[in-house]
């Protein structure tokens, strides 16, 4: 204009998102809490996938880990105790284009939300389901949870938890239409990142049990685990999680495990002597409920009314 070079342009550039675009409020978990590592890994996955923050939503129930939506720069829904999954399924049903992350804990998912956990796995709606399993109710200060190890002293069992904990892996593997089951620990960032990335890329409900340190209320459980890598069994396979050489060094006990083999996944998950790490089961072809439930959504109001009339007419006596 007037021979001068314009210093502005109407051209629309693609946005490039940085980690800061996925950051919400300052995380207020205790120092040393494993939740910090999970938050960082999830933000890195979103950044590396260049997912638009406004097309992502993080849903949670109640518990320490359920504060995650506050710390994400995405949409968020901090719900009721045990009810993260029905909210997440509702979001996916009405807004299938949104990318849904669920943050829940062992108490929230495996106790109060048990029925939702079972039905959500069967529905297999496309979402990343992160269960932060610290084996204790941390937010309410140390009650026994469904995964508290036998003998651990808690406020509700001062002489030690009295019955064996749930095995969330075998339970999840036993649910109809299960499509993705993985286990990881919070203190190995490369494996945590790769596992969440694989879960994010999976179409369906990706169940990831994250063994998560609570140094305040369950320190002895996780110190013991951290100090004894021989208690873990790293799962290797070309169809499994990509393994960094540092991950192989940290977990020397390894087996070749094909994640499409459900019977083998059960055997690995049920072994009381070892914590498997990596992808136990993957069935990418399992049907997603949103594909089925959305059928007919393009019908006009008149077509819907006509259909309703037809059904009601069948009930006329």
Q: Which residues bind ligand SF4 (CB under 6 A)?
A: 29-30, 33, 35, 64, 134, 138, 214-217
Both tokens of 217, joined, read 């209320």
CB of 306 to ligand SF4, least distance (A): 54
Nearer to ligand SF4, 125 or 161 (CB): 161
Nearer to ligand SF4, 175 or 211 (CB): 211
Nearer to ligand SF4, 84 or 100 (CB): 84
Nearer to ligand SF4, 124 or 134 (CB): 134
> Cα(260)–Cα(281) distance, rounded to whole angstroms?
6
| 180-185 and 275-282 beta bridge pairing | antiparallel
Nearer to ligand SF4, 35 or 126 (CB): 35
Order of strands, sheet of 75-78, starting from the edge strand that comes earlier in the sequence: 75-78, 56-60, 99-105, 127-133, 205-211, 180-185, 275-282, 232-236, 254-256
Nearer to ligand SF4, 24 or 86 (CB): 24
CB of 186 to ligand SF4, least distance (A): 10
The DSSP-derived string for 55-99 is GEEEEE-SSSGGGHHHHBSSEEEE--TT-HHHHHHHHHHH-TTSE
Quote the longest CA-to-CA distance of the chain. Answer: 85
Nearer to ligand SF4, 30 or 98 (CB): 30
CB of 194 to ligand SF4, least distance (A): 23
CB of 245 to ligand SF4, least distance (A): 30
Contact of 188 with 288, CB cutoff 8 Å: no
Closest to 107 measured CA to CA, from 63, 68, 77, 58: 63
CB of 241 to ligand SF4, least distance (A): 25
> Cα(233)–Cα(277) distance, rounded to whole angstroms?
6
CB of 100 to ligand SF4, least distance (A): 23
Q: What are phi and psi of 77, to 5 degrees?
A: -145, 110
Contact of 178 with 202, CB cutoff 8 Å: no
> Cα(313)–Cα(50) distance, rounded to whole angstroms?
51
Both tokens of 242, joined, read 């990509």
Nearer to ligand SF4, 66 or 205 (CB): 66
CB of 132 to ligand SF4, least distance (A): 8
> Cα(289)–Cα(241) distance, rounded to whole angstroms?
25
CB of 29 to ligand SF4, least distance (A): 4
């Amino acid at each position: 204009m007037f021979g001068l070079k314009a210093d502005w342009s109407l051209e629309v550039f693609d946005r490039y998102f940085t980690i800061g675009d996925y950051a919400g409020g300052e995380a207020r978990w205790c120092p040393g809490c494993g939740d910090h590592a999970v938050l960082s890994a999830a933000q890195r996955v979103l950044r590396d996938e260049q997912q638009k923050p406004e097309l992502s939503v993080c849903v949670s129930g109640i518990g320490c880990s359920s504060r995650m939506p506050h710390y994400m720069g995405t949409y968020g829904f901090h719900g009721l105790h045990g009810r993260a999954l029905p909210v997440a399924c509702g979001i996916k049903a009405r807004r299938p284009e949104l990318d849904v992350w669920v943050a829940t804990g062992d108490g929230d998912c495996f106790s109060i939300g048990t029925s939702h956990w079972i039905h959500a796995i069967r529905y297999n709606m496309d979402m990343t389901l992160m269960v932060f399993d610290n084996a204790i109710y941390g937010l309410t200060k140390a009650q026994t949870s469904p995964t508290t190890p036998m003998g651990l002293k808690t406020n509700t069992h001062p002489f030690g938890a009295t019955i064996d904990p749930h095995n969330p892996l075998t339970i999840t593997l036993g649910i109809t239409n299960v499509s993705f089951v993985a286990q990881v620990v919070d203190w190995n960032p490369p494996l945590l990142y790769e596992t969440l990335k694989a879960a994010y890329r999976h179409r369906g409900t990706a169940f990831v049990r994250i063994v998560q340190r609570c140094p305040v209320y369950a320190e002895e459980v996780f110190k013991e685990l951290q100090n004894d890598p021989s208690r873990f069994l790293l799962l290797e396979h070309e169809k499994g999680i990509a393994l960094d050489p540092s991950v192989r060094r940290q977990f020397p006990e390894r087996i070749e495990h094909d994640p499409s083999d459900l019977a083998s996944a059960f055997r690995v998950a049920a072994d009381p002597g070892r914590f498997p790490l990596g992808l136990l089961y993957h069935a990418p072809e399992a049907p997603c409920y949103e594909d089925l439930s959305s059928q007919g959504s393009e019908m006009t109001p008149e077509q819907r009314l006509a259909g309703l009339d037809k059904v009601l007419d069948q009930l006329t006596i």
